Amino acid sequence: MRALITNDDGIDSPGLLALARVAIEAGMDVVVAAPAHEHSGASASIIATQGAAVTAAGGKGTVRSERRALPGLDADAYAVHAAPALITLLALHGSFGGAPDVVLSGINRGANVGGAIMHSGTVGAALTAGQGGVRSLAVSLHVGLAEDGEQHWATAAALSARALARLVGEPAGTVLNLNVPNVADATGLELVEAPLARFGIVQTTLTEVAGDEVRLSIREHSAADAPGSDMERLASGFATITVVQTIAERRA
């Protein structure tokens, strides 16, 4: 099977490298294509960047990419000047050496849980793949809001391998969202299926309007407010997995 590895943290992210190694160890033919620069919060946006300019994919511009050699990784890799969903869309059309059978997005620095996943570039790439009929997995490591502290990518990689084994047996177009606690040892770490919380761990709110400026702030939610959800299970020390549905109309 051919696997596209992408993310929203950018081509130099250690989580991207860890996820690529998971796919290689699973015997997959791997290509890495990730944003040249961070695109966190890009959702399923299909924008390309040309220097300081931003253009829609439907415009007359081109999407620029550069070959990269990633440390310790024997796979083709591209730094792409585009959002992760657009990179995925390009890959589905064979832009990086053949269409993928699976798309793996991450490993994101920070959890993606609840309804807030609609804003995530990590999940946006996976949803784009699912909409194209390709199995996909979004992976995030719950490092919290602090900037310091060790990030245990190996733990997230171990749980990603378990989720990948499940993914390949799922129907075409299945999208899985995996969140992993930031703990040093994956041994004994339980992977549970959990529904999305109504909201996410954090929520952006408006705090002040001053002339032509709007000031925003981040408000944290308590996991206890969403019992049984992916947010609450993750806060309780479980790795969580959720089957996420792509765009569909409401049925009567």
Within a domain: 206: no
Span 179-200, pLDDT tens digits: 999 999 999 999 999 999 987 6
Task: Give the per-residue pLDDT at 80.
Answer: 96
Does residue 32 fall inside a structural domain? yes
Confidence label for 50 from pLDDT (cuts 50, 70 and 90): low
Q: Which helix (H) or strand (E) holds 107?
A: strand 102-109
- Residue 59 or residue 244, greater confidence: 244
Q: Which pLDDT score is estimated for 47?
A: 82
Residue 184 lies in a domain: yes
Band (pLDDT 50/70/90 cuts) for residue 45 is confident
Alpha-carbon span 224 to 3, nearest angstrom: 37
Tokens standing for 231?
């947010």
What are the tokens at 148?
Answer: 């310091």
Residue 205 counted as domain residue: no
Query: Which of 248, 28, 231 lies closest to 130, judged by CA?
Result: 248
pLDDT score for 27: 97
pLDDT value at residue 160: 98
Judge whether 135 and 36 are in contact, CB under 8 Å.
no
Q: Examine the pLDDT at 204 and tell me if it is beyond 90.
A: no
Give the domain range for residue 127: 2-198+226-243
pLDDT score for 145? 58
Q: What is the pLDDT of residues 106-123, one digit of tens each?
A: 999 999 999 889 989 999
Segment 213-228 shows an average pLDDT of: 69
Average of pLDDT values for 123-147?
91
Number of domains forming the structure of the chain: 1
CB burial of 17-29 (b: ≥16 within 10 Å; e: otherwise) equals: bbbbbbbbebebe
Contact 89, 46 (CB under 8 A): yes
Query: Residue 206: its pLDDT value, please?
Result: 57
Contact by Cβ (8 Å): 244, 122:
no
Question: What is the CATH classification number for the domain harbouring 56?
Answer: 3.40.1210.10
Q: Is residue 210 part of a domain?
A: no
Predicted structure pTM score: 0.90
pLDDT exceeds cutoff 80 at 92: yes
Name residue 129's amino acid.
Answer: A
User: Does a structural domain hold residue 204?
Assistant: no
Cβ distance 106 to 18 under 8 Å? Answer: no
**Does a structural domain hold residue 35?**
yes
Query: Does residue 219 belong to any structural domain of this protein?
Result: no
3-state class of 139 per DSSP? strand
Mean pLDDT of the chain: 88
Nearest to 139 by CA among 180, 86, 168: 180
Mean of the pLDDT values across residues 146-162?
89
Query: The tokens 């930031």 sit on which residue?
Result: 182
Average pLDDT over residues 45-57: 68
Buried b (16+ CB within 10 A) or exposed e, 151-174: bbbebbbbbbbbbbeebeeeeeeb
**H-helix or E-strand containing 34?**
strand 29-35
